[in-house]
Structures are given as C-alpha cells and as structure tokens.
Amino acid sequence: MKRKKTKTRIYVCHTFYHVYVAILKEMKLERESASDAYQKADIALSSISTNFENLGERLQKTGIFHEVIALDEKREDFFPELAKYRKNYSNILKHMINRMIFTKKLAKCEIPYLSVIDFAAYEDIYVFCDSDPIGYYLNYKHIPYHAVEDGLDCLKNLDDAYVANHGHFKLKTWFSRRNLIFIMNGWGKYCIDMEINDRSVVPTDCPRFVEEPRKPLEQALTDRQKKLMIQAFIEDADKLTEQLKPSHEGEEFACFLTEPHPVDVEARKKVCLDVIEKYCKGYRVLIKPHPRDMIDYTELCPDAVVLRGRFPVEVLNFFEGLRIKKAVSILTTAMNNMDFVEEKLNLGASFWDAYEAPEKHAYNKKAGLKLADQ
C-alpha cells in the first residue's frame, strides 16, 4: 500500500544559483495556480558545498516558501570507512563490486543527517546536483525525484555522468537503472527526469532529459515577484545600486565574472589580473565574484568596484535602468542571461591552459566528448 503524500514539493539546493532557479519554478506555479489551490513548497539548503550565511533568514522573511530547512548533508570523506571502496581498479568486476558496496554504504551513512526531512511525504522532490549524497540517499530509500541541472547549461562543458563513467558507460548505466550503483543526471533508478535549460548544447544524450528553458521563467515574473527575488538575495539593494552608478557622465563599465577555478588561489588571482589588463582597459572595472570564490578582490584590485554579497548574477536583471557596456567570463554561462550587458565575451576553457594543465578543466574533451568552449 502506497503511503499518502502529505506535503506538496521540496527543492534541495546546494548553491545560490539552485535557490534562484527554485524560486523561478515556484513563482511560475504561483502565477499559474488559482489562489485557493496554490500551496507553497518547502526548500532545503544543503551546507555540503556552500555557506548560505543568512540566505535562509531572508527567504523566510519573503514568504516565498512554506518552510526553509537547513540540511547537514555530509561529504563522503566525512566517513573515512568508505575510502577503501573508492579505489580505482583496472579489473571491471572488482571495480563494480566495490562500487555497489560504496553506493549502499554512503546512503546508510547519510541517514542520521538526511532523515531530518521526511522526503517520502512529498508529492514532488526537485534535487539540484543529485551527484551529491542526496541522490544516493533517495535511490537507497526508493523515493522518486526530479533532477535539475547544477548550473545553467553546465553539461555543455562538464557532463559529470559521462565523464566520471566513460569507461564501460553502457554497462554502468545498466547497473544504475537497477539501483545497484548510482549515476547522477538522469541515470538513477528513482530519478524521474533530468531538467535542463537547452538540449541542443549538451554533447550526450539521456532518455530522461527534459528541456525547461530558464529565460521565459525570468521574463514572466511580475513586478512583485522581481522585488521578492531582490529581497531574497540582496541584503542592501540601495547600496548595490550606488555601486553600479557611473561616477561621471560617459563612464562605461566592464564587468569580470570570476569562477571558483582554477582551484589554486594564486592562479585564480593571476587569471583575474590578466583578464582585467587585457579585456577591460579603458573601462571602470566591476568584479562580480562567484558565490564560491572566496578571494578578497578589493585587496587584489583596489581600483575596481567589487560587487558585495553572494548572489546569482541573474538577479541584476531586476534592477531597473542598469546598463553595463561589457562583460567578460571564462565559462560562466550565466553571462548569457545578463540582459543589461551590451557586449559579452566568453573566453572559453582553453584560456585556463596558460595557468594549469589542460586536463584539469577540459573534462568533456578528456572523456572523448566535444568541448563546447574551446
């Protein structure tokens, strides 16, 4: 006998961008539902890879979600007893046996931390980045869920499912669909579908891919919803607006969008300085740090305007009258959604070749897939 569902929806988020998309999806439902039929969803903020600081409190104040839940999801290295099952073996049989053991053991280890949420009570569960332990846990518990892409068109440059499993890929997906091992991004047995922004840019195929473009969700927001979006992510909108004003008539801005890559901090600093020197000369420089990039850019670039606060850059679309002449990024696909930018320059993954070994960032290429941004 199937258990009765007592709750509507929950979004499991690991980054600020995940929260942004969750809000877009929820606001669409609010617009399309009759007022007496609409029931708010819950949202879970996992601390496994992101310090959300006071985002949870701000979300509660906006009233967008019914409940905001802190989720203490643990990395696999939190459980040292699992390390022996993560060794790579050239013998595929030995490798798969170890992986089957790891799949079940990781899920069991997560139970004390993830069972604080009764996932089985929800009609729909949306998981961003199901490669994290939550994916293992839900499959172990036989709880169906919807996967959602980690970042905007992120599979274009890194298809995790294929890259991590490109040896004997078909065999491994066969095992995953039978819940013997776990593969993310639509290949798990209990993954209903995998939501992506644009199917045409993904170099691989999965029968569970479902295209759900983000831009129409943004364009359909009401004025009230745009204000709520700003309130959720921006602690001091007036201060940010002041930062974005030209200091004199005719002044033009060039904005560099940083990334949490390369992993080496000194290399990342050099990337920033070189990009500004080569592509931002003659402009007043704005730096928008990635939410997971912890470098102090005010110290590194004292003459630049560093946008304070950790928020998805797409939120700037909702600031009326904002205009930036030029934006530069390495791989940040979010730049494509910056409607207030006149000229957009995406340098591509090969730009990093001068700062680290190419195999550290050319993931799809290394696995034999087309690398979208050469």
Supply the DSSP string of 251-276, one letter for each residue: --EEEEE--S-SSSHHHHHHHHHHHH
Which stretch of 160-169, 302-311, 363-372 has the lowest confidence by average pLDDT?
A: 363-372
User: Cis ω on the peptide bond leading into residue 312 (within 30° of 0)?
Assistant: no
pLDDT-derived band at 291 (thresholds 50, 70, 90) equals confident
**Type of residue at 163:** V
Q: Is the pLDDT of residue 373 over 50?
A: no
In the CATH scheme, what architecture does the domain 7-216 have?
A: 3-Layer(aba) Sandwich (3.40)
Backbone angles phi, psi at 224, to 5 degrees: -65, -40
| pLDDT value at residue 32 | 96
Q: What is the average pLDDT across 80-101?
A: 92
pTM summary value = 0.91
Q: What SS3 class is residue 45?
A: strand
| pLDDT value at residue 371 | 47
Which stretch of 79-83, 126-130, 246-250, 259-263 has the lowest confidence by average pLDDT?
A: 259-263
Supply the DSSP string of 304-344, one letter for each residue: SEEPPS---GGGGGGSTT--EEEEEESS-GGGGG-TTEEEE
Q: What SS3 class is residue 27?
A: helix
Q: Is the pLDDT of residue 364 over 60?
A: no
For residue range 64-79, list pLDDT tens digits in order.
999 999 999 999 999 9
Which stretch of 33-37, 64-68, 104-108, 137-141 has the lowest confidence by average pLDDT?
A: 33-37
CATH 3.40.50.11110 intervals, the chain: 235-366
**60: closest CA among 237, 311, 231, 239?**
231
| pLDDT value at residue 362 | 60
Q: Is the pLDDT of residue 2 over 90?
A: no
| pLDDT value at residue 170 | 94
Q: Alpha-carbon distance 358 to 367, whole Å?
A: 13
Q: What is the average pLDDT across 103-132?
A: 98
| pLDDT value at residue 369 | 53
In this structure, the number of other CB atoms found within 10 A of the CB of residue 75 comes to 10
| pLDDT value at residue 374 | 43
CB 310 within 8 A of CB 232: no
Domain 235-366 in CATH 3.40.80.10? The answer is no
SS3 breakdown of the chain: % helix, strand, coil, rounded to 5? 40, 15, 45
